[in-house]
Structure 1
Amino acid sequence: MVKCPQSSQLKLPLTRQTAFALIVASSNILIGFSIGWTAVLPKLQEDSSKFSVTEDDVAWLASLDGLVSLFSCFVSGPLVEALGPRRIMFLALLPCSGLWLLQAFAPSLSLLYLGRGLLAVSVGLVCVVVQPLVSELSPAEVRGFAASVPEVVLSLGALSSYALAFFLPWDLATAASAVPFVMLALLMALVPESPYWLVKKRKQKEAERSLRRLLGPEAKISEELSAILHSASPEQGTLKEQLRNLRAKRNHLPVLLLFASFVLREFGGRSAVFSYTVFTLRFAGLELDASGCAVLIGVIRVVSSGVSAALVDVVGRKPLLVGASAVASLASFVMGAFLCLEVPGATSWMALVGVILYTVSYGVGLGPVLWVYLGELVPSSVRSLGAAAVTTGYYLSNFVVKYVFLGLVSSLGLGRTLILFGGVDVLLFLLAWQSLPETRGRSLKDIEGSFDAPDPGQTSGQGSSPTDPKAEPSDTERPPVCEVVLDVTKL
């Protein structure tokens, strides 16, 4: 926290900048609705008034978003560089209401598949763009909080879908999912374009106007623009140049670490736990209503995501991720052990406890922190390409896990499958502990230096390491917009 005599004059620009970032973060409700929609599948399978739905259809409908989103991830990098991240977000959100209605009132199974597949294209585009854009629009002091909001919004979207599936028939629940997206698309049209992208496209005048919309007409933008010009050169705007830049260790190492982290998280059971919550609890023999328990899980996920948003700029990213990975592996091992041993009177309840523990660990660390890292660790010189590569790995592993989960349960049993997931979570724990840096309170430019080769002339006594979470950034590293009194613990 830095005190400044003129801080009161900067609170309005800070509020304006954060508000724009939060509008972008709110687009993640699309992903939450898409994930939570799978809760209607049991009712869809029971309703044969329009068409019949087989077990294979259930598996495909649950995993189709991951498969189709691979395509949108592949094309998102070139699209973002050509059109700009804010415009891509607007175009992705614009057709969503119509696509939800197409799924709700589809007269045939093929049209239901079509609506689900087209919606998955928008889901993939939003997933690639949202975190880097939020990080580029957010002040450093609240960047962790702002970058955690997409996961909170996603959790709210999933909870809403669980509740709609619990109270309504599947078609009405699907139709109700269309409600927020017209307004959200209109709000997205008000958000200024990323000044980083504008600089890379040699549109410096437009970048200045974007900064003035972000910071306010009276703000001094020269230092902020100078920092952006230093980190985002026009040559970085081409795909060919980003591929060339990716050869440097400082650029490809954070991309590889994030790629591995997202893949390990998915193979650690995230997709299975949240896409097959009702199935898992019913398989475990839970005597309570499994759909009602799924709504409870959604509530817990929202609350724990909110706790993460409050803590991520106070405790730091790395401690939350390391601790959450340990709890997630413990939860999977406990669930798996009780299901394998089939302890009378305890198995079903321990399955519920295990799912709750996993949900808390995901909401506090596994979910939001990795997405915060995606917005912070990928260098600006390869940001669109690197984010697209990481998100492609996420969706590929997401599809694989959701599609093979029921087959794994049939061949290995649910208990052994969960133990396998726990083992993968241990690998994520080790990777996070050993390889990921702390980024709390650091500028994006400073974070990029975390993966530079160490200066052989620097001794341990010459200042703090750039990866030291306790190190204070120098005055020259602080964006001027962030020189404002702000107590994040009160957010």
Structure 2
Amino acid sequence: MMFGWTAVVPKLEDTSKFKVTKDDVSWLVSLPFILIPIFALLTGALAEHMGPRRLLTIAMFPVAGFWLMQAFAPYLWILYLGRALIGIGAAVVLTIVNPLLAELYPGRFRGLAGTFPKIVGCAGMLLSYLLAYCLSWDLATAVSAAPFLPLPFMLLLVPESPYWLVRKRRVDEAEKSLKLLFRRDADVAEELKAIRNTTTPEQCEVKNQVRELLKKQNAIPLVLLSLLFLLREFGGRGPVLNYTVYMFRKAGVQLDAFFCAVLVGVARLASTCISACMLDLVGRKTFLLAAALMCAVSEGVAGIFLFLEVEKATWAPLASVIVFVIGYGLGLGSIPGVYVGELLPTPVRSLGSAIIIFICYLAHFAVNLVFLKMTSFLGLGLTLLVFGGANLAIVPFVLLCIPETKGRTLQDTERAFVLREAQEGQDNSAFEMDAMPSKAKEH
């Protein structure tokens, strides 16, 4: 909902409560995205000290209050403060959730589990669009606090990461956590043994994680995932999702811009649900390639229509944005996050996730901040063509560098970059070895 709240920003410009300039609009949209990378690094260290599930729960308790702070802000600076505090809470969620889900769920369900936060996020964004369409900006902001009231209490029911518990030498608690995840009478001895074989107490120390990060087999997946996230950001996902209303108004779409934003939210939620259901059947790589190509083509088509100023083609931007969000929902939005939990090795998973979020949202902040200036200088059409080029570059990058992880255990993926053969365009040979996953219990 933090991302979808930007749909109400155009209504802020019409408020008599305080004066909002174009620069204020850019900063209100972009402010959380400069705080997310800063606090993501701190979150990685705190998660190792406190436990990821516990930190996530604590961080969620005050979030509803931050929304109400924005809704009833008497001054503009308080609105900025509330937006910043929500951004800090988002940093905790984005850094912790995907690695935690990867450590809680077995391989055969990890694709669905990894995309579930995106489904919830898409539902939250759609709700934000509906609130922006139906209500004033302050009332829409106040209502946005409601989902966060029960959330921290629900998180208390989630078990702690068994990987973190083993690193803390709390093996008995790790066994209880595994039994909660499967069933109370389940034999989790093999599962626990597999975790202990890849986990050591020394991994709790940040300095030891930094040392592990310098090893080739740990550094390679971090670099590859960082590049994947950067290409996604330079593909314009931030402006398309955060400046939806502005883009429709600038493109001259005849329908109500807020109504079009709701259509975009519906398309994204539906495509994300399809991705969640199919990801463990089809595989991550296929969906990611198809999604990147869809996003590139949709931005390219819209960019050409707008750049050439084709008459009576105001439908093209709306259709292209809907195709973009469908592609984004099918894979470009959720699969990179799934890969963070699956490809980052256990010794560097917390620190690596924090670094990737830092890089990703630093780029996200920069692209959002300069978007309005880019459209003023280049025009919306040429800007979309630049974004389309970045998404197109994802296709050969994924084909050559990113392996398929469907159905593989975390122990398999840790060995992936150790056993990698120097053959371009082929998946890692570690994933073709029948002896590894077939007899091991998945996790």
The 3 A distance-change label for structure 1 pair 295 and 455 is closer
Letter in 2 for 1:402: N
Q: Which residue of 2 aligns with 1:249?
A: 216
Q: Which residue of 2 aligns with 1:311?
A: 278
Q: How far does residue 465 in structure 1 lie from its aligned partner after superposition?
A: 3.0
Post-superposition CA distance 1:152-184 (Å, at most 9, x none): 111111000000010000001000011011211
Q: Distance in 1 between matches of 2:277 and 2:98?
A: 18
Q: Distance in 1 between matches of 2:421 and 2:440?
A: 19
Residues 79, 88 of structure 1: 8 Å contact kept: yes
The 3 A distance-change label for structure 1 pair 455 and 477 is farther
The 3 A distance-change label for structure 1 pair 204 and 395 is same
User: Are residue 271 (structure 1) and residue 234 (structure 2) matched?
Assistant: no
Q: Which residue of 2 aligns with 1:477?
A: 440
- Among 358, 361, 380, which residue is 1:395 paired with? 361
Q: How far does residue 222 in structure 1 lie from its aligned partner after superposition?
A: 1.2
Residues 331, 357 of structure 1: 8 Å contact kept: yes
Post-superposition CA distance 1:350-373 (Å, at most 9, x none): 111110111111000101111111
Alignment of 1:413-428 (within 5 A): 413-428=379-394
Letter in 2 for 1:283: K
For 1:314, what is the secondary structure of its paired residue? helix
Q: Which residue of 2 aligns with 1:39?
A: 7
Q: Distance in 2 between matches of 1:337 and 1:472?
A: 51
Percent of matched pairs sharing the same residue: 46
Q: Which residue of 2 aligns with 1:132?
A: 99
Q: Distance in 2 between matches of 1:133 and 1:244?
A: 22
Q: Distance in 2 between matches of 1:200 and 1:86?
A: 15
Q: How far does residue 209 in structure 1 lie from its aligned partner after superposition?
A: 2.3
For 2:19, what is the secondary structure of its paired residue? coil
Q: Which residue of 1 aligns with 2:82?
A: 115
Q: How far does residue 476 in structure 1 lie from its aligned partner after superposition?
A: 3.7
Alignment of 1:92-171 (within 5 A): 92-171=59-138
The worse-fitting range, judged by mean Cα deviation, of 70-79 and 299-308 is 70-79
Q: Which residue of 1 aligns with 2:36?
A: 69
Letter in 2 for 1:121: I
The 3 A distance-change label for structure 1 pair 411 and 235 is same
Q: Which residue of 1 aligns with 2:346?
A: 380
Residues 412, 431 of structure 2: 8 Å contact kept: no
Q: Which runs of 4+ in 1 moved over 3 A?
A: 453-456, 470-476
For 2:2, what is the secondary structure of its paired residue? helix
Residues 103, 112 of structure 1: 8 Å contact kept: yes
- Among 309, 319, 323, which residue is 2:290 paired with? 323
Q: Distance in 2 between matches of 1:253 and 1:467?
A: 16
Post-superposition CA distance 1:246-266 (Å, at most 9, x none): 111111111111111111101
Letter in 2 for 1:47: T
Question: Which blocks of at least 5 consecutive residues in structure 2 are unaligned?
Answer: 423-427
Post-superposition CA distance 1:222-262 (Å, at most 9, x none): 11111110111111111011111111111111111111111
- Among 140, 162, 168, which residue is 1:201 paired with? 168
- Among 240, 249, 271, which residue is 1:282 paired with? 249
- The aligned length equals 438
Post-superposition CA distance 1:189-217 (Å, at most 9, x none): 11111010011112222212222322332
Residues 4, 125 of structure 2: 8 Å contact kept: yes
Q: How far does residue 454 in structure 1 lie from its aligned partner after superposition?
A: 4.7
Residues 420, 430 of structure 2: 8 Å contact kept: no
The 3 A distance-change label for structure 1 pair 360 and 85 is same
Residues 255, 386 of structure 1: 8 Å contact kept: yes
For 2:3, what is the secondary structure of its paired residue? helix
User: Are residue 57 (structure 1) and residue 24 (structure 2) matched?
Assistant: yes
Question: Which blocks of at least 5 consecutive residues in structure 1 are unaligned?
Answer: 1-32, 457-463, 483-491
Q: TM-score, normalised by structure 1?
A: 0.87
Letter in 2 for 1:426: L
Letter in 2 for 1:466: A
Residues 421, 429 of structure 2: 8 Å contact kept: no
Q: TM-score, normalised by structure 2?
A: 0.96
User: Are residue 452 (structure 1) and residue 418 (structure 2) matched?
Assistant: yes
Q: Which residue of 2 aligns with 1:15?
A: none
Q: Which residue of 2 aligns with 1:465?
A: 429
Residues 39, 275 of structure 1: 8 Å contact kept: yes
The worse-fitting range, judged by mean Cα deviation, of 217-226 and 267-276 is 217-226
For 1:107, what is the secondary structure of its paired residue? coil
Q: Which residue of 1 aligns with 2:425?
A: none
Post-superposition CA distance 1:407-453 (Å, at most 9, x none): 00011110110001111112212211110000001101001111114
Residues 144, 309 of structure 1: 8 Å contact kept: yes
Q: Distance in 2 between matches of 1:195 and 1:401?
A: 37
The worse-fitting range, judged by mean Cα deviation, of 425-434 and 328-337 is 425-434
Q: Distance in 2 between matches of 1:454 and 1:95?
A: 45
User: Are residue 78 (structure 1) and residue 45 (structure 2) matched?
Assistant: yes
RMSD: 1.5
Residues 442, 473 of structure 1: 8 Å contact kept: no
Q: Distance in 2 between matches of 1:411 and 1:200?
A: 52
Q: Distance in 1 between matches of 2:416 and 2:107?
A: 16
Residues 446, 477 of structure 1: 8 Å contact kept: no
Residues 331, 358 of structure 1: 8 Å contact kept: yes
Letter in 1 for 2:282: V
User: Are residue 441 (structure 1) and residue 404 (structure 2) matched?
Assistant: no
The 3 A distance-change label for structure 1 pair 467 and 223 is closer
Q: Which residue of 2 aligns with 1:354?
A: 320
For 1:53, what is the secondary structure of its paired residue? coil
- Among 413, 432, 438, which residue is 2:398 paired with? 432
Q: How far does residue 467 in structure 1 lie from its aligned partner after superposition?
A: 2.9
Q: Distance in 1 between matches of 2:241 and 2:212?
A: 37
